[in-house]
Structures are given as C-alpha cells and as structure tokens.
Amino acid sequence: MRPLLRKASAIATCLLGFALAGCDMKNISELQPGTSTEADVRARFGEPARIWPEAGGASTFEYNRQPEGHVNYMITIAADGTMTALTQVLTPEHFARVQPGMDQQAVRRMLGQPARQVTYDQSRETDWDWKWLDGPTRAMFFTVTFGPDGKVRRAGSREDVPQGG
C-alpha cells in the first residue's frame, strides 16, 4: 500500500505544479514592464512571500512556487508603483552567480525561498535545495551547501531522480 500512496502523492504534487505553472503563465502574459502597476501584480499573484527593498525607493516582490513548483519569481516595482521587471530566478544563469563565501541572506535574496533545508549535525553543514526544470521536463535540484558560519561552501545541480518504492 505504501508505494501506491507514494505514487498518488507524487501525482497530486505534479498536478498542483502544472496548475500553478498554468496560472502563472496566464498572469505573466497579462503584465507588461513599464505599464503594469503594483496593484496589477498583486491582483494576479497575491501577496508576495517577501518584499525586498531596493535603491531609490523601489522594491522587489518575491513569489515562491517551491516546493510544489519549479520556479520562483522576483518582480521589481519602481518607486512610482510601476512594474519594471519580472524574472524567473531558478535558472542556470542565476545559479552561476552563487559563489563560495556568500551569506545565506544574499542567496535567499537572489533565488527566493528554497524547497527544502536540511542541516547535517556531524559536518555542521546546511543544504538548501531548489527544484527547477532543465528544458521542458527534466526535473532538477540546485543545492547550495552552507558551512557552520552561514557562508556558501559549494553549489551545484543534480537530476531529481524519483526514489524507488
């Protein structure tokens, strides 16, 4: 019975991920940088998980789709309330910016909330994992390992291989 429950749970998670992706694509298509407003963003995406202050009175809204989805969005709102950028940040280009020595706050600011955080007592290291897609269907994890000082030790991607049951 356990393998059946595991499969049902995986299917439900997958369907939720597709539903979120479909809604996000529709919402994204309705927003235009330079024209859309903060009110338009909130009407389509809801309340952000976090608001990051930017220079000059701008702010970046963080919209997480972890752990069900494979994306995280950062939407920048100028001081005048106009949307200036909408970026899906779980990409190899953004991952390449994660460097040894960065602190947890900088990584969180860059990639958004991770899907999972695991601390290993013996090594005193903590892994943060984000789910992402390499191409249309290849599920991946990007993992950042922090040392006990909260600084990046290493980072890299691996394929998300389903566990056997």
Of 35, 69, 88, the last residue of a domain is: 88
83 and 96 both lie in a single domain? no
Q: Which domain holds residue 131?
A: 92-159
Mean pLDDT, rounded, of the chain: 88
Q: What is the pLDDT of residues 45-96, one digit of tens each?
A: 999 999 999 999 999 999 999 999 999 999 999 999 999 999 999 999 999 9
Report whether pLDDT(43) > 70. Answer: yes
CATH number of the domain bearing residue 66: 3.30.1450
pLDDT band of residue 156 (cuts 50, 70, 90) is: very high
Across the range 24-39, mean pLDDT stands at 92
For residue 64, which of 82, 81, 45 has the smallest C-alpha distance?
45
Q: Do residues 75 and 44 make contact, with C-beta atoms less than 8 angstroms apart?
A: no
Taking the CA atoms of residue 149, residue 152, residue 156 and residue 161 in that order, the dihedral angle to the nearest 10 degrees is 30
13 and 30 both lie in a single domain? yes
Q: What is the pLDDT of residues 110-152, one digit of tens each?
A: 999 999 999 999 999 999 999 999 999 999 999 999 999 999 9
Domain tally for the chain? Answer: 2
For residue 70, which of 122, 5, 137, 120 has the smallest C-alpha distance?
137
Per-residue pLDDT, 13: 38
Report whether pLDDT(6) > 60. Answer: no
Per-residue pLDDT, 47: 97
Report whether pLDDT(165) > 70. Answer: no
Burial label for 115, CB within 10 Å (0-12, 13-18, 19+), is: buried
pLDDT band of residue 22 (cuts 50, 70, 90) is: low
Q: What angle do CA 117, 121, 126 make, to 5 degrees?
A: 30
**Residue with the two structure tokens 């309330």:** 81
Any domain includes 164: no
45 and 109 both lie in a single domain? no
